Every structure is written in structure tokens, then in C-alpha cells.
Amino acid sequence: MNDYAAVLQNVSFRYGNSEEGALHELDLKIARGECVLLCGRSGCGKTTVTRLLNGLIPHYYEGELQGDITVSGKSIRDTAIEDLAGIVGSVFQNPRSQFFCVDTTAEIAFGCENMGLPEAEIRSRVDSTVRDMKIEKLLDRSIFKLSGGEKQKIACAGVAAMLPELIVLDEPASNLDLDAIEQLREIIASWKAQGKTIVIAEHRLGWLSGLCSRVIYMESGRIGEDFPGESFFSLDPVRLSSMGLRPVVTDKNYLDTQPGLFQLQPFSSGGNIVLENFRYSYGRKNALDIEHLELPEGSVTAVVGHNGAGKSTFTKCLCGLQRKFRGTAVIGGKRMKPRDMQHCSYMVMQDVNHQLFAETVLEEVMLGADKNSEDKALELQKKLDLLEYKDRHPMSLSGGQKQRTAIASALLAGKQLLVFDEPTSGLDLKSMRAAAGLLYSLRSECTVLIVTHDMELIGQCCTHVLHIENGGIHQQVSLPEK
Amino acid sequence: MAGLFTADVENRGLVLDPRTKIAVMLTLVVFALGGTGSDTAAVRAGTVAVSILPMLLLAAARQPGRAAVFTAVYAVMKAAELLLVPKTTGAALSILGMCCMIFVRLMPGLVMGAYMLSSTTVSEFIAAMHRMHVPQQITIPMSVMFRFFPTVLEEFSDINTAMKMRDIRIGGRNAEKIIEYRLVPLMVCSVNIGSELSAAALTRGLGTKVRRTNICSIGFHVQDIAVLTLTAGLYFMWILGMIGVIK
């Protein structure tokens, strides 16, 4: 018994607000020191398993639970979730909603403070965690000024300082760029070396290859298959794709966009959208410095670059949202100032909840448009598979449907330029492909720019790649025809 | 990000103990706002000194611009109170008197309040409450609440951006719905973030029965002693004035 860090026996669970069960008679034993990957399609129950391990189910998310869960010899049902804190550590997906303090040092100490450890002990734990993770540079910083990757490192440090035996990570990489993922990988590797038990639920698989010693593939609330790490990571892409999983090896890295490499053609002029004088600085710090840039009308351009390269400043300027920005753009043959750019461009945000205002989908789509354009609105909704939901409240839709509602509203308002901010972060293979198909089909209506770290998405739907580094254009290439 | 208890730890200048700030605040309420002991000349002078203190603290906390503006306003209004008020009569007197009242008596307290909120971190605040023996049942909900505000502000600014792109603005087509349109997404996002935040807090042991420790080092330093001496001096003179030692 003692050789297992966690034992789930015959566990079934149904969320209180759902008709269908999330897990069905699941049996799972996780040995001490194992590094386990949980994967599968969206809704397969991988997140639910992580919540069982850290006690959020049944203590926080309510529902109907059957079966026994034991973590480190303690029954989850009979142990208060706060008392599990020193035993199970959890890292979540969204860096925005897992912080309590405004400075990093206090944040790392937060968990230990809650456990009521003596002050000297906390300080020595914070010091050694910081040293182990090599994040001295991040100490005494304001959390609001950190990048997503840095925030995720602080979250890991806060968990590690509590010295848990089991660490559970729920899609920790879905908001991170490739560099930050590599650093997260190193952190997890060091935990593994210390003999901690690690459970990761994730749909981006590549970075976990060689790290996870066991892979559990889940299918509609059951264990589909239990692989040893090595044999899983050498499965061929066709097999993975039939399982609804993303490929392990990303074959093309569009951050390495040398012309000639995988049939990339250099592209610098010949576009009928012309951007000029795209310069912007925050105080003394130069964030964007592009003098002249051309984009072909009706193209789907991926905007890539490392975190902090200036991608979001660029798109904000393009949508006319950056104050004091003075650049100009020629779109549809018309020369435009930032104020006009605001009228003809639209950004679909990463959290699309921020931009749905109305009470029904139809009203939402009609919001920016003429009162007489209902026919066209219905037509658009039909095209985007939204017609049957036209009287639903937008907030009651699924993520993909919300995204399509936002797209429909932009198209009806006559926007010629659509910018997407990480449209596929957190999507499984099927939803990612559906999104890619949709984005590609928008070419006939408008020009699309996609800010993304998702290399597979780029391969699926983009016609051009714009690589931004240090606020300037690093490369601009066109991709072979699809 | 200026807001409730979200002091920028990277660039904050002089740091005072939160308890010192509370002491200054109380002193301002008693003397500047309440006008206590204003029949003693020494107390009146001391009140001026304490009233300028928030501006000095603001300057020391790397906000010299705002500090200069408030000091200038205070100086002008105080001069007007001393020189002009005795010479005016009628309507002019009521208007001028009112203005002096607001800027000379109320403003220092408000500036102090703004300074207090913008220069203290949540951990310092909690540590101070802890040292003053305020029970955990009060401090923990408060700390989560303060953590929640800046996030809601961030959400709010994202929603505003989205509204700009949809051309929903004052004077625009959908002006009458501008509040409703803002509240719905704000509430949905706040509920999501709030529930994720609570889940994360629980997994990190917030709310255990054990007594929480706090590594945040607060304590009285030279600057605190200087400020506290000044405020204590004011109370001391007030007492001397009351028992008739000084006039």
C-alpha cells in the first residue's frame, strides 16, 4: 500500500451541474516517484482526475462521488482540502487566477505561511526553492509585471516550497511560449529527480516526451490505455491522430523561418495592405519599430515571436487601440489613421468572454450593424453553425461557439481585418482542426492575422508567417499552397 | 497599476510600517479634520506640519509630481484661510470658507488615504493586522478581497477595449446600454476568476485551523520613529494646551 502515492478505486463522479458522468468506475494506482501524463480529448476526464487528487473534488466542486481515493495513505473524503496542502501541490492553467500577493517573494512563501511554519523555516525553504529553480532574478518583483511564463515559474516555486509528495499540474503549458515550456520542463525534471510523484494533465504532448514514465490515455471518463512512457512517445502520428491527440513531434517550427526551409518563400512586398510608421514605445522602452510592412489582402498571416517581442503591441496598434500611436495603414485602397483602423479591424481576444455583451446570439451579432441587416446576420450565423443557437444567451455557449459568435459580429459589422489572439490555446486536436478550418475559410471575407504559439495551427491554416523579434520584422515568408 | 494594496515593490522608495500610516491617518482626522486644540498656537502650527506630512510621504514614495501639486494647493488654500478669510464677508466668505475647509482640513486626510492604499502591499497589511491582534477570520477574507480588485480592474480594461472595437461608446449607437453591456461580461469573468482563485487558495492551504505565520518583515524604523514623534508631539502639545501650560 505504501508504495503508492495515490490510489483511485472504482471511482465514478458526476458534476452537480451536469447530467453525464465525468468519470466511470475508474481504477488507477500511481506509484511513488512516477511521472504520469494524463491525456485525451477535451472532456475525457483528465482534469477531473487531477481534481480528485488535490481534493478539489469533492470538497470544492460538488457532485456525486463513488469509490475511494487515497493519497499518501489519507482518504481524500475524510481529509479537509486545506490539510492536504502540504501533501499535494497543484499548478493550474491560468496564471492570472492563482496568485494572492503582489510580490513574488511573498507569493512563494504564501503556502508555507498558511501551514503555519516558523518564519525561519519558511525563509530557508524559499531560499532553497529559489536556488533549485534558478529564479533568483524573479525575487522581489511585482507579479503584475511578469510574463505568463515567469508567473507559471512562481506558481511552481510556491508549490515546491511546501515540499509536497505529489504535484498535480493541470494544463500548465497551454498559455506558454516554447521557451517558457522548455523551462517548465526543466523544473518538472528536477522534481522528478528529487523523487516526487508528478501527475500532469496536458494536451500539448511534445514537451513531455522523455519526461513522463507513464502515459494514461483517457476516453470518456475511462482509462483507454495505459502506456509506458517510451512506447507512447514513439507512437506514429496517424495513431495519435486517431486517438484525438496532437502529434508528439512538431515537424515545423515557424520560429525558425529561414526562406527555403520547408518550402518557405520570402515575402516582403506585393501586399495591398500597407502599414507604415508602426512605432510605439512604453516610456523609454521601444516596443515596436516597423517602418514599412505589406500584407496581402485575403491572407491568413501567423504572427509569431517570443514573449515580449512586440506581437501584442503590433496587433493593438493595428486595431487602433494603442493610445498615442501615430502610424497609418492602407486597407481596401483607403489610407487610414488609428481611429479609422479601429472601425475596420477587430480583435478576437484569448478570453472571448470579454467581448460578448448582448442577451441573445442574434442580438450580439447585430450589435454593431444596421438594423435592416437581419437577413445577412442569419445567413452568417448559418455559415458559422450558429443558427440553432440564435436565441441562446452568448454566455451559455461553449468556447468554440462563443468564438464563432464574435467572428460573426465582426464580419457583419464589415470589419476587413480580423486579429486572433491565441485562438487555439487549450484546444484538443479536433477543436484545433475545426478552428483552423474556420480561420482558413475566412480568407474570402477578410484578412486574418493570428497571434499564436501553436505551430500545428500555423501549418493547418496560415498562408503567411510574420516573425517579430525585438519590435521589428525578423522574417516575413509565405507558405506553400494548401 | 495604482490601486488597493498593490504597491509596486520594485520601485517604492521610502517604506513605512502600516501601523505608522494608520497613526498618521488618525492624527489627521483628530487635528486637521476635527480641529482639535485649535485654540493653542503650537497645536495649530503642529497641525500644519502633520497636514503636509502626507505630501512628503507621497514624494518619498516616488510620486513627486502628485506630491508637488497637493502641496501647492494646500499652501495656497492655507494662505487664503489665514489672510483672505478674515477680510471677506457675505457670499464670498461662505464660498471661500467652504473651499478652505475642503482643501485645508479634508484634503490631507484624503491624500494620506491614497498614500496608504497605494504604498502598502497585501502582505504588509495582513502582517500589521496580525500584530494588532485582529483575528484571522477578519484578515483572510479581507486579503482575498484586496487580491480580487486589481484583477477585476484588469478585466474591466479588457472589456473597455472590446467595447471600443464594437463602437459602443458614449454618444454612439448603443449609448443607453453602455452600462449593461459592461456589467454582463464583467460579472461572468469575475465569477470565473473568483472561483479559480478560491480553488487555488484552498489547494495552498488557506483557511487551515493552524495559526498562519507571516514572513513579511514589518517593523518600526528610523523613518517611522520620526513620523511617530511628530504625531506624538502634537498630542503632547494639545494636552499641555488643555491644562494651560502653553497658549
ipTM score: 0.83
How high is the pLDDT of residue A481? 76
Tell me the per-residue pLDDT of A193-229, one tens digit each, with 9 for 90 and over. 999 999 999 988 889 998 999 999 999 999 999 999 9
Helix, strand, coil percentages, rounded to 5, for chain A: 35, 25, 35
Residue A282, judged by CB atoms within 10 A of its CB (0-12, 13-18, 19+), counts as exposed
Give residue B20's pLDDT band: very low, low, confident or very high (50, 70, 90). very high
Largest CA distance in chain A: 73
3-class SS at A300?
strand
Give start and end residues of each alpha helix (H) in chain B: 18-27, 41-60, 64-83, 90-100, 107-119, 122-131, 136-165, 178-203, 222-242
Is residue A263 within 8 Å of A448, Cβ to Cβ? no
Is residue A170 within 8 Å of A91, Cβ to Cβ? yes
Does the structure show a pLDDT above 80 at B49?
A: yes
Q: Under 8 Å CB-to-CB from A284, ≥6 apart: which residues?
A: none
Give residue A123's pLDDT band: very low, low, confident or very high (50, 70, 90). very high
Chain A environment of B12 (Cβ under 8 Å): none
B240/B247 Cα distance (integer angstroms): 9
Give this prediction's pTM. Answer: 0.84
Are B162 and A355 in contact (CB < 8 Å)? yes
Query: Is residue A193 within a helix (H) or strand (E), and if so which, with residue range?
Result: helix A178-193
3-class SS at B42?
helix
Long-range contacts, B87-94 (Cβ 8 Å, 24+)? none
Closest CA to A440 of A427, A426, A457: A457
3-class SS at A448?
strand
Tell me the per-residue pLDDT of B166-209, one tens digit each, with 9 for 90 and over. 877 766 666 677 778 888 888 888 888 888 888 888 899 887 77
Q: Could you give the angle at which helices A399-412 and A429-441 cross, rounded to 10 degrees?
A: 10
Question: Chain B neighbours among A 350-389 (CB < 8 Å)?
Answer: 351, 353-358, 367-368
Q: What is the nearest CA distance from A141 to chain B, expressed in angstroms? A: 6
Chains A–B, number of C-beta pairs less than 8 Å apart: 182
Does the structure show a pLDDT above 70 at B75?
A: yes
Query: Which of B204, B214, B216 is the closest to A85 by Cβ?
Result: B204
Q: What is the nearest CA distance from B182 to chain A, expressed in angstroms? A: 7
How high is the pLDDT of residue A2? 64
3-class SS at A295?
strand
Are B212 and A114 in contact (CB < 8 Å)? yes
Give start and end residues of each alpha helix (H) in A356-395: 361-366, 374-383
Residue A272, judged by CB atoms within 10 A of its CB (0-12, 13-18, 19+), counts as middle
3-class SS at A250?
coil
Chain A environment of B206 (Cβ under 8 Å): 82, 100, 114
A49/A55 Cα distance (integer angstroms): 10
> What's the full length of chain A, in residues?
482
Is residue A332 within 8 Å of A343, Cβ to Cβ? no
Closest CA to A100 of B212, B111, B134, B15: B212
Would you list the DSSP string of A13-63?
EEETT-SS-SEEEEEEEEETT-EEEEE-STTSSHHHHHHHHTTHHHHTS-E
Give residue A15's pLDDT band: very low, low, confident or very high (50, 70, 90). very high
Tell me the per-residue pLDDT of A296-328, one tens digit each, with 9 for 90 and over. 998 999 999 887 788 989 999 999 988 889 899
The DSSP call for residue A482 is: -
Chain B environment of A99 (Cβ under 8 Å): 147, 200
3-class SS at A405?
helix
Are B144 and A100 in contact (CB < 8 Å)? yes
How high is the pLDDT of residue A214? 95
Judged by average pLDDT, the poorest of A260-269, A280-289, B70-79 is: A260-269
Does the structure show a pLDDT above 90 at A232?
A: yes
Are B158 and A351 in contact (CB < 8 Å)? yes
Best residue in A353, A371, A403 to probe B by mutation, most B CBs within 10 Å? A353
Backbone angles phi, psi at A434, to 5 degrees: -60, -45
The DSSP call for residue B121 is: B
Nearest residue in chain B measured CA to CA from A110: B204
Long-range contacts, A289-293 (Cβ 8 Å, 24+)? A289/A471, A289/A472, A290/A314, A290/A471, A290/A472, A290/A473, A293/A466, A293/A473, A293/A476
List, edge to edge, every strand of the sheet that includes A23-31: A23-31, A4-15, A63-71, A74-75
- Which of the residue ranges A105-119, B110-124, B150-164 has the most confident prediction, judged by mean pLDDT? A105-119
A348/A408 Cα distance (integer angstroms): 11
Please report, rounded to a whole number, the percentage of residues in chain A having pLDDT higher than 70. Answer: 97
Are B122 and A101 in contact (CB < 8 Å)? yes
Give start and end residues of each alpha helix (H) in A194-333: 229-233, 237-242, 311-318
Are B167 and A413 in contact (CB < 8 Å)? yes
Q: What is the nearest CA distance from A224 to chain B, expressed in angstroms? A: 28
Q: Under 8 Å CB-to-CB from A114, ≥6 apart: which residues?
A: A82, A85, B204, B205, B206, B207, B208, B212
Please report, rounded to a whole number, the percentage of residues in chain A having pLDDT higher than 90. Answer: 46
Is residue A155 within 8 Å of A93, Cβ to Cβ? no
The DSSP call for residue A468 is: E
Q: What is the mean pLDDT of residues B8-15?
A: 78
Residue A317 C-beta-side C-alpha neighbours within 13 Å: 24
Would strands A464-469 and A472-478 be described as parallel, antiparallel, or unpaired?
A: antiparallel
How high is the pLDDT of residue B1? 38
How high is the pLDDT of residue B175? 65
Best residue in A102, A339, A395 to probe B by mutation, most B CBs within 10 Å? A102
Is residue B6 within 8 Å of B152, Cβ to Cβ? no
Give residue A261's pLDDT band: very low, low, confident or very high (50, 70, 90). low
B147/B206 Cα distance (integer angstroms): 14
Give residue B2's pLDDT band: very low, low, confident or very high (50, 70, 90). very low
Q: Under 8 Å CB-to-CB from A134, ≥6 apart: which residues?
A: none
Residue A464, sorted as left (phi over 0), alpha (psi -120 to 50) or beta, turns out to be: beta
Top pLDDT among A16 and A271 is at A16
- Which of the residue ranges B100-114, B125-139, B177-191 has the most confident prediction, judged by mean pLDDT? B100-114
The DSSP call for residue A203 is: S
CA dihedral A332, A335, A340, A345 (to 10 degrees): 40
Best residue in B145, B215, B217, B218 to probe A by mutation, most A CBs within 10 Å? B215
Does the structure show a pLDDT above 90 at B141?
A: no
Q: What is the mean pLDDT of residues A61-84?
A: 91
Query: Is residue A460 within a helix (H) or strand (E), and if so which, with residue range?
Result: helix A455-461
Tell me the per-residue pLDDT of A437-475, one tens digit each, with 9 for 90 and over. 999 999 888 999 999 988 889 988 999 999 999 999 998
Query: Which of A56, A116, A321 is the closest to B161 by Cβ?
Result: A321
How many Å from the N-terminal Cα to the C-terminal Cα in chain A? 55
Give residue B110's pLDDT band: very low, low, confident or very high (50, 70, 90). very high
How high is the pLDDT of residue B238? 92
For chain A, the average pLDDT equals 89
